[in-house]
A = this chain, B = another copy of it.
């Protein structure tokens, strides 16, 4: 005797969430139906609205609801510094360190040849144009200190150096193999302060 089709579909659909397997999806579905129908309705609308409203900022590539995001338009940010991070969550970690007031570029990934992610997939040409706009004086590479993050930083420095752009790399103050998203704000600040020429 199978489940009602709309329940079956809800359980299947929940599996699009990262780290959610069949048992978790089943638990989540019953939880929503039994204990939090209001929350479920809110979630459905929130997803629909986020998919409709969010796009990539023309300047920093982060998610925004406008053509250019508030941070890129802010007169309080120093436009001569451009910090390159892998993901929006890394940008949030940088902001929480309160050690940086420049602008950002979000790669939305990292070089990963085995997964077919190369310079083209990450749109390095857009980053290059951005770094070459005559206002940016320094590009700070803040990709993760993992193998792939280091390779990405290396590739970017090789690309930017010949164009006469000053390139720096956040210090290895964070433990090797760690990721920005899970580091404490003080370590992130320290790594930023101790950045070295690259």
Residue numbers of A with Cβ under 8 A of B are 1, 3-7, 9-10, 12-14, 16-19, 23-24, 26-34, 36-37, 39-54, 63-65, 69-71, 74, 87-89, 92, 95, 108, 181
Contact = CB atoms under 8 A, between A and B. Distances in A.
A70 to B, nearest CB: 6
A98 to B, nearest CB: 12
Contacts of A12: 46
A54 B33 contact: yes
Contact of A87 (B5, B30, B42): B30
A4 to B, nearest CB: 5
A144 to B, nearest CB: 15
A108 to B, nearest CB: 6
This chain's copy number in the assembly? 2
6 contacts: A7-B63, A13-B42, A16-B32, A18-B27, A19-B24, A33-B51
Contacts of A54: 4, 6-7, 33
A31 B18 contact: yes
Given A16-B40, A27-B18, A74-B1, A47 B63 contact: no
A65 B9 CA distance: 13
A28 B88 CA distance: 12
Nearest to A2: B70
Q: Which residue of A3, A4, A19, A47 has the most chain B CB atoms within 10 A of its CB atom?
A: A47
